[in-house]
């Protein structure tokens, strides 16, 4: 969590962090959103400086106000102010002058801008760089900056300090995720009522005019419901029949909604600049065929077992190994047979989430997930599923959990897991 940042910086010997947000990438730049929240800052940098002068044996308390700066464009000064950080405007740096001094070399000009910024803001020593950018731009800029030598460029390939802090959530963040879960469940409930509001003609749901109800119709309804509740829509899965048998198939708009087919609805919106939820329900309208019923019971068994196991002690791979044990005992193939398995249990048991839909930790097999336990504060999904595309179905149930720092485990989702939707 954010309060770990000072300790993480000291452990890694970092004097400052620079989290950049190039134009156009803010929607997925979670490391930047972590500091600015919902403030509509389309371009800029966060600079976190280590607190100086404290004895190194004491845990540092990071007071974000004085040590965290937001470098912003002058025309975004009002939006920047909403972030509640110390502001520093780029209005004082004339890129025409800097470009001229750099002989028109735009890369050199970027390095020079950084040199001036660091000088004005007292940034020196070992500096880590974070945030998303074009691959070519990152490579060229960081190499040029390292060569310029006015700071020591520290690159953390994975498990960097910002990701590490984000991996655990404090009570405030958990509350925000809980809020998104409630809103998301309202969308799920509204979608189920929308389906139930249609009559069946034969095995097919039809609209008032008599046309068949399609996946496209339901998706349009869900998009509007999300917007009505103020939720950002990063896309969602609403698939039926064979599509439900392929975990990441988003669904085919022209597919007709029929009774007795498995519908997978996997939805993971967030409030603007906020935290996601990630919830999946499987429904059969009217009735569920026996094979789907049985597979669903197998999935619930794994789901319940994982929920009962969650704690901050056992190695994180134990959950997925357990899931494979149970599924194999029930006669299903699993990812233990290799990554190409498409019939049976074909993905990981869960993943962390927060400002991004997928974050560490992951619940995968031994060798793919490390031996570390889930850290206290982790927010993770529990989403076993079974997939039989050739039989024309798949099932998955996904709930969200917070391992609170005091050692408890809280299920953040509340929506019922009923497979059959009475029509």
Q: Which of residues 104-123 bind its own copies (CB under 8 A)?
A: 106-107
Asked if residue 351 lies in contact with residue 162, where contact means CB atoms within 8 angstroms, the answer is no
Residue whose CB is less far from its own copies, 200 or 246: 246
User: Is 37 within 8 Å of 173 (Cβ atoms)?
Assistant: no
Q: Distance between CA 124 and CA 86 in Å, rounded?
A: 18
Residues 318-347, interacting with its own copies (CB under 8 A): 338-342, 346-347
Query: If you search the block for the tokens 């404090």, which residue do you land on?
Result: 170
Judged by CB under 8 A, which stretch of 3-11, 59-67, 203-211, 223-231 contacts its own copies?
223-231
> Binding to its own copies (CB under 8 A): which residues in 31-70?
31, 40, 42
Q: Give the SS3 label for residue 159.
A: coil
The DSSP bridge pattern shows strands 420-421 and 279-285 to be parallel
Strands 262-267 and 279-285: antiparallel
C-alpha span between 352 and 76 (Å, rounded): 32
Closer to its own copies by Cβ: residue 54 or 75:
75
Binding mask 241-260 for its own copies (x = CB under 8 A): --x--xxxxx----------
Q: Which of 10, 115, 186, 223 binds its own copies (CB under 8 A)?
A: 223
Helix (H) / strand (E) containing 279: strand 279-285
Task: Examine residue 152 and tell whether it contacts its own copies (CB under 8 A).
Answer: no
Nearer to its own copies, 248 or 313 (CB): 248
Under the binding rule (CB under 8 A), the answer on residue 358 touching its own copies is: yes
Residue 286 CB, nearest distance to its own copies (Å)? 26
**Considering the rule CB under 8 A, would residue 206 count as an interface residue with its own copies?**
no
Structure tokens at 311: 């704690």
- Position 8 contacts its own copies (CB under 8 A): no
The one segment of 124-132, 194-202, 256-264, 323-331 that binds its own copies by CB under 8 A: 124-132
d(CA 133, CA 139): 10
Work out whether 235 is an interface residue with its own copies (CB under 8 A).
Answer: yes
Instruction: Draw the binding track, 66-105, toward its own copies (x: CB under 8 A; -: no contact).
Output: -------xxxxxxx---------xxxxxxxx--xx-----
Nearest approach, Cβ of residue 373 and its own copies (Å): 18
Q: Which two tokens stand for residue 335?
A: 């990812």
Question: Does residue 228 belong to the site contacting its own copies (CB under 8 A)?
Answer: yes
Inter-helix orientation angle 171-196/215-228, to 10° = 140
Count the residues of the shown chain that bind its own copies, applying the rule CB under 8 A.
Answer: 81
Hey, what are 215's tokens?
């996946």
Burial grade of 299 (CB within 10 A; 0-12, 13-18, 19 or more): buried
């Amino acid at each position: 969590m954010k309060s770990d940042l000072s300790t993480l910086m000291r452990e890694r010997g970092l004097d400052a962090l620079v989290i950049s947000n190039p134009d156009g990438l803010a929607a997925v730049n979670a490391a930047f959103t972590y500091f600015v929240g919902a403030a509509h800052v389309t371009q800029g940098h966060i600079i976190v400086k280590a607190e100086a002068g404290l004895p190194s044996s004491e845990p540092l308390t990071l007071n974000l106000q004085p040590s965290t700066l937001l470098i912003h464009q002058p025309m975004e000064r009002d939006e920047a102010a909403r972030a509640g950080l110390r502001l520093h405007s780029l209005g004082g740096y004339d890129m025409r002058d800097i470009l001229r001094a750099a002989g028109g070399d735009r890369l050199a000009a970027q390095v020079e801008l950084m040199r001036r910024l660091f000088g004005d803001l007292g940034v020196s020593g070992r500096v880590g760089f974070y945030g998303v950018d074009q691959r070519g731009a990152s490579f060229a800029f960081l190499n040029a900056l390292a060569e310029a030598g006015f700071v020591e460029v520290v690159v953390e390939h994975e498990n960097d300090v910002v990701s590490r802090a984000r991996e655990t959530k404090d009570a405030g963040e958990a509350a925000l995720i809980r809020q998104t879960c409630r809103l998301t469940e309202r969308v799920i409930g509204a979608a189920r009522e929308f389906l139930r509001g249609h009559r069946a003609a034969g095995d097919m749901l039809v609209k008032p005019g008599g046309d068949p109800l399609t996946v496209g119709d339901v998706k349009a309804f869900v998009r509007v419901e999300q917007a009505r509740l103020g939720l950002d829509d990063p896309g969602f899965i609403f698939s039926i029949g064979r599509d439900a048998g392929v975990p990441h198939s988003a669904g085919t708009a022209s597919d007709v909604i029929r009774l007795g087919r498995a519908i997978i609805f996997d939805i993971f919106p967030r409030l603007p600049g906020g935290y996601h939820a990630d919830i999946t329900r499987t429904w059969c309208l009217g009735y569920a065929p026996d094979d789907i019923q049985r597979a669903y019971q197998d999935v619930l068994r794994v789901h319940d077992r994982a929920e009962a196991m969650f704690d901050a002690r056992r190695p994180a791979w134990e959950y997925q190994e357990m899931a494979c044990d149970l599924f194999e005992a029930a006669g299903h193939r699993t990812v233990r047979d290799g990554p190409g398995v498409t019939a049976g249990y074909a993905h990981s048991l869960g993943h962390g989430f927060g400002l991004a839909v997928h974050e560490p930790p992951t619940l995968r097999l031994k060798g793919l997930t490390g031996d570390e336990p889930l850290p206290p504060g982790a927010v993770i999904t529990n989403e076993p599923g079974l997939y039989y595309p050739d039989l024309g179905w798949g099932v998955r149930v996904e709930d969200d959990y917070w391992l609170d720092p005091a050692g408890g485990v809280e299920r953040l989702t509340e929506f019922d897991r009923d497979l059959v939707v009475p029509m």
